[in-house]
Structure 1
């Protein structure tokens, strides 16, 4: 059977159209143009998923999933830092809210959906337990040090680190994330490789050429860039809609984080649907690690250089839900096999997280 072209026309048109639409924002064309921007934003997300899969297939595991995780995290960091610099003191909790939202979306939403669709289609799926365990151990340490420990330090009142503490924790985050990347990409690369599945044509398909992979890489950067720019441009409209709905302002961070994570979420979902759960988990857990391990140091640098204070400690409600999510996913992925039940439980926790934001 003839293979589908690696670069369908729509995956090239979508980011170009999105960039053109972005430059038309200054014309102030009204509410219908806002809906059009939302549509081209989704198109950019879908195109990003396709190009990410092309690049990942060329470079192989685990480098492909690592590349996508780093790309999306860089975009997330750029979005948070730009909003911090333009928003001033009112954005002291922005990094915390966005990182927390990203982690909860990944651990309960993306992983939950992947386990659900994989369990529904294949009953059971298998993955490499050592790689997942390494990611979860590192993620637990970084989460506690950045989002929970600030509530219990005494050098500064409130859920904030002093400048010295912030520098130390930022260095620790980089050390932990750097160690994880070294283990994933070099020292124990085999931990993160998907188990061989007989009859799975996707695993044994011929990789794209260097030229196609390079074009997809460039288009991926264009797609991720426009996703962030459009998300930032649409943020005021989203905030207005949230306020009119009567929901807390923190819901804006959840929505923006969800938009930024859409490419990775869809890629993880599609991998699980093709019985490639290892790739799906590499994407999800790697992104969660990068989201905290790189965002917190970047925000710390901005805070120190600008003199802005940032709040990192989460409240008790968020702490309970975060620890519940981490405890549940560690139990769910403790045997190397998953089924539909783990996906349902994680998605229930995700729905509780969203509900308690809207109705705290």
Structure 2
């Protein structure tokens, strides 16, 4: 156990977590000095420090996620990172709703920004990078189709149905419980199938995902990319053989990712202040925060694309969005019902159009046997269109 933990808790790993938490404490200590309006130079300095710390800590999250993915294999490895970030994000959104003030649209704005960033910006960059480096990329069409089918249904329930059947963009009280039950039931059934009978639908085409750094196998030997065709041991055997290391890496991942998310939300007031004085729309701050919150997952996805692991890109990106919608929407609806708050979920016609076109493009692109760099450019163009809509 001591050897395994020593392998996990390297000096650099400890430094990344420590710097993140020290930055959170420092920001809390000087919160009075950073209350809006903040002078321009202190504002820029604080934002630069926060972004720098987030980037430094995010590299640690990426490292732990990659080690877990190599050890556990997909979809389990990608699922660990996805659920860690999404669960923390859900808790923070719920904490904001339970705090003072009106936050009727926070869930809608956050999830929509995440949707556009993941589906268009991150996946677009991944397809472009992977396509230029490796040419056409083969993915598991059944797995990607499963993700996109759920996204079509969950996004319709979240953003389309309140506009058509609700009142002032919110579900009526009697509609909340059926929507929550159906959403959670659908997501739970998906997780059960993804980690059970359909697990192979979310693995790289042609065998296990390639390994790009030496990782000791169950028997203690070192595995590299040359033996990627070797059969992977059963998950139960891996858990029994490497329990201390796996739980240690999972704990380090959560401890490192938590300050990333906390810092992202702490900088919301600074961004609102600075962007407000610059005349930028309020939605810009939401987009920037959503991008930073999911920075670890985005970096991991780009590294996977660079290595040609396009199915892992889908597991991280599409899987993250399924988890975000499947967990955030029920959570905020329940809080709204219990506290009497109005939860506005109906989106604007422009955003609904862009979301619909994005999902259609995703379905068309990933329905092909291979995805290419051109598909990535198409997604990036849609993200540019979303940027135009934000500033309009």
TM-score (ref. length: structure 1): 0.92
Superposed displacement of residue 197, structure 1: 6.4
2:284 pairs, out of 224, 243, 251, with 251
**2:86 corresponds to 1:73:** yes
C-alpha displacement of 1:157:
2.8
Distance in 1 between the 2:117 and 2:294 partners?
Answer: 8
Residue 149 (structure 1) aligned to one of 138, 156, 161? 161
Partners of 1:142 and 1:173 within 8 A in 2: yes
1:56 maps to: 69
| 2:16 corresponds to | 14
Note the C-alpha offset of 1:210. Answer: 4.1
User: What SS does the corresponding residue of 1:202 show, helix, strand or coil?
Assistant: coil
Q: The residue matched to 1:118 in structure 2 has which SS?
A: helix
Distance in 1 of aligned mates of 2:213 and 2:145: 23
Q: Name the structure 2 match of 1:347.
A: 380
1:337–1:7 CA distance, 2 compared to 1 (3 A): farther
The C-alpha deviation readout for 1:115-163, integer Å capped at 9, x for no partner, is 110100011110111111111111101111111111111xx53211012
Alpha-carbon separation, structure 1, partners of 2:256 and 2:122 = 20
- How far residue 11 of structure 1 moved from its aligned partner, in angstroms, is 2.8
Query: What is the deviation of 1:353?
Result: 0.6
Contact kept in structure 2, 1:268 and 1:283, CA below 8 Å? yes
Which residue, 161, 170, 173 being the options, matches 1:163?
Answer: 173
Q: How far apart, CA to CA, are the structure 2 residues paired with 1:212 and 1:187?
A: 26
- Using the alignment, how far apart are the partners of 1:87 and 1:48 within structure 2? 32
Q: Give me the TM-score of the superposition, normalised by structure 2.
A: 0.85
> In structure 1, what is the Cα distance between the partners aligned to 2:209 and 2:248?
30
- What is the RMSD computed on CA atoms of the aligned residues? 2.1
Aligned length: 352
For the 8 Å contact 1:115–1:342, the answer to whether it is kept is: yes
Once the two structures are overlaid, the 10-residue window that deviates more, 324-333 or 79-88, is 79-88
- The answer to whether the Cα contact below 8 Å between 2:82 and 2:297 also exists between their aligned partners in 1 is yes
User: Rg bigger for which structure?
Assistant: 2
Q: Which residue of 2 aligns with 1:178?
A: 188
Contact in 1 for aligned 2:70/2:211 (Cα 8 Å): no
